[in-house]
Amino acid sequence: MGASYTIAMDRSVIALLLFPALAAAQSNPAAQAARKWRQGHERAIVNEFVTLLAVPNVSNDRPNIQRNADLIAKMLEARGLAPRLVSVPSGNPVVITDIRTPGATRTIGLYAHYDGQPLDPKEWASAPFEPTLRNRPVEEGGTPIALPSAGTPFNPEWRLYARGAGDDKAPIVAMLTALDAIRAAGVRMKSNIRLAFEGEEEAGSPNLESTIAANKTLFAADLWLICDGPVYQNRQQSLIFGARGSMTFDVTTYGARTELHSGHYGNWAPNPALELARLLASMKDRDGRVVIPGFYDQVEPLGPLERKAIAGAPAIDAQLMRDFWLGATDESPKGLYELLTQPSLNIRGMASSRVGAQASNVIPSTAFATLDIRLVKGMDLARTEQVVREYIRKQGFYVVDREPTADERRMHANVAKVVFAERGGTVARRTPMLLPIAQDVIRTAESARGPVVKLPTMGATVPLEAFERPLGATTIIVPIANHDDNQHTFNENLRIQNLWDGIELMAALLTM
């Protein structure tokens, strides 16, 4: 253990020389304690993480969701805590627990979710629920390697591959490890702490708000820190003060009742794939800006602190374009973080008949697309749905929200079935950066991790309203995963250094 400790110290010294900002990380005693503890327990920490990742966690897989919740409860109990599993009928359990601090005058909640996105195992380089350590990202030829033996340090650039590695089981392990470290070092806590772990965030948190509303005393807190999502793309710590909302819809266009032979009927029978292409293509201009009338009408302008924060965020577009093999971005020269304060309209997927070797010489009978809209502060779900429906109508489609009848198809040149996801989606939330508790979180995070990037909103959707509406709580998003973690797609992973950094950050936040 002596040898490995020396190596880790050397690495830390080099980091301090190269990045003076990191010196600030030493000023927070809980973060210092967390680093020491981690350096002495790397293998044990990763073991606990691997055990958690090995439990399949797609939110509609009820038996495995229960196994996740039970395992997390055991992890909490092992720390002497008294977790409870709370849920509403047909909801997945939220694991919640308290850490009381005598004399505390405020309560801080830390949230993460243990469920993960649906997946197709065939697309993964290794089985999604057999956590696999790799020496490099799989896209760079990373190969599986064995976990180092206890006492041998992990290379912090190694990555652990599994569904949920980045999104969002890492914060759970980071919080519990931070707690171990604080206690071992005897660092004093100042606030009451609540930890809550949800099991259906990737399904859109359909029951989180009602679960909280039904258990207000369990969840009451001044501040909920939503520990989810990735840190800044230059790997700098970030804090995010809001999240875009989200709504999804499906569009189906119709040709003939059955697929027709493309020779016998080609250039006579209308092609629904072409109709769909026309409709989708018409929704944005060449720059990528949505041209649906009224789409941007409700967008609430940013305040001065928020505008300053965006202007101050490190430029990362060029690096991201290189990483992602992109030759252009939408609405250039606007940068990513400016654009994320605007709503988006995105085609998630498109399908009509078959393609490539499976294609046959037909005119498709239907064409199908799934889209999502990311809403920003001020935008209303019902109004947004209305402008989209109205736009599709204006494009000449007879719009229905269920399967059109034969006669409806005969009577209208263009028919579109437009179905918005039943629950109506999630609105955007944004916490003003000038709130005192927001300023306190910024100071604490910077004492542990050096200067942080402050963003008015994240692009993705997290269930902030579930805490804000029933509890009146303030929410701030605290990410720890790497941005290149392939969350929501195949080969999801966590970069080991992000787990180490996350432990230090959680230690600081638990003791603020």
Site for a copy of itself in 173-212 (CB under 8 A): none
The least distance separating a copy of itself from the CB of residue 73, rounded to whole angstroms, comes to: 28
Angle CA(340)–CA(346)–CA(348) in degrees, nearest 5? 130
Q: Which of residues 462-491 bind a copy of itself (CB under 8 A)?
A: 483, 486-489, 491
Within 10 Å of residue 222's Cβ, how many Cβ atoms? 16
Residue 359, both tokens: 């294609």
Q: Which of 17, 186, 304, 325 binds a copy of itself (CB under 8 A)?
A: 325
What DSSP character marks residue 481? B
**CB within 8 Å of 239: residues ≥ 6 apart:** 441, 442, 445, 452, 453, 454, 455, 476, 477, 478
The least distance separating a copy of itself from the CB of residue 493, rounded to whole angstroms, comes to: 12
- Integer angstrom CA distances of residue 209 from 276, 380, 467: 36, 18, 7
User: Nearer Cβ to a copy of itself, position 113 or 409?
Assistant: 409
Buried/exposed code over 127-158 (b: 16+ C-beta within 10 A; e: otherwise): ebbebbbbeebbeeebeeeebbeeeebbeeeb
C-alpha dihedral, 32 to 34 to 35 to 37, nearest 10°: 120
How big is the chain by its Cα radius of gyration, in Å?
25
The least distance separating a copy of itself from the CB of residue 32, rounded to whole angstroms, comes to: 31
The least distance separating a copy of itself from the CB of residue 450, rounded to whole angstroms, comes to: 23
Q: Which of residues 5-44 bind a copy of itself (CB under 8 A)?
A: none
User: Nearer Cβ to a copy of itself, position 276 or 507?
Assistant: 276
**Is residue 175 within 8 Å of 112, Cβ to Cβ?**
yes
Q: Which of residues 266-285 bind a copy of itself (CB under 8 A)?
A: 266-271, 273-274, 276-278, 280-282, 284
Q: Which of residues 107-166 bind a copy of itself (CB under 8 A)?
A: 117-118, 139
> Binders of a copy of itself: how many residues, by CB under 8 A?
99
Among 10-18, 30-38, 215-223, 335-343, which window interacts with a copy of itself (CB under 8 A)? 335-343
The least distance separating a copy of itself from the CB of residue 239, rounded to whole angstroms, comes to: 16
Q: Which of residues 399-418 bind a copy of itself (CB under 8 A)?
A: 406, 409-415
User: Nearer Cβ to a copy of itself, position 78 or 411?
Assistant: 411
Amino acid in the structure at residue 7: I
The least distance separating a copy of itself from the CB of residue 318, rounded to whole angstroms, comes to: 10
The least distance separating a copy of itself from the CB of residue 387, rounded to whole angstroms, comes to: 16
Within 10 Å of residue 300's Cβ, how many Cβ atoms? 12
Task: Please name the residue that has the structure tokens 């109506």.
Answer: 424
Report the first-to-last Cα separation within the chain, whole angstroms. 31
Alpha-helix residue ranges (DSSP H) falling in 41-169:
42-53, 62-77
Q: Which of residues 338-377 bind a copy of itself (CB under 8 A)?
A: 339-340, 342-356, 358-364, 367-370, 372, 374
Q: Which of 418, 460, 464, 477 binds a copy of itself (CB under 8 A)?
A: 460
3-state secondary structure of 443: helix
The least distance separating a copy of itself from the CB of residue 228, rounded to whole angstroms, comes to: 11
Provide the β-strand partners of residue 139.
none
Q: Is residue 229 at the binding interface for a copy of itself, with CB under 8 A as the rule? A: yes
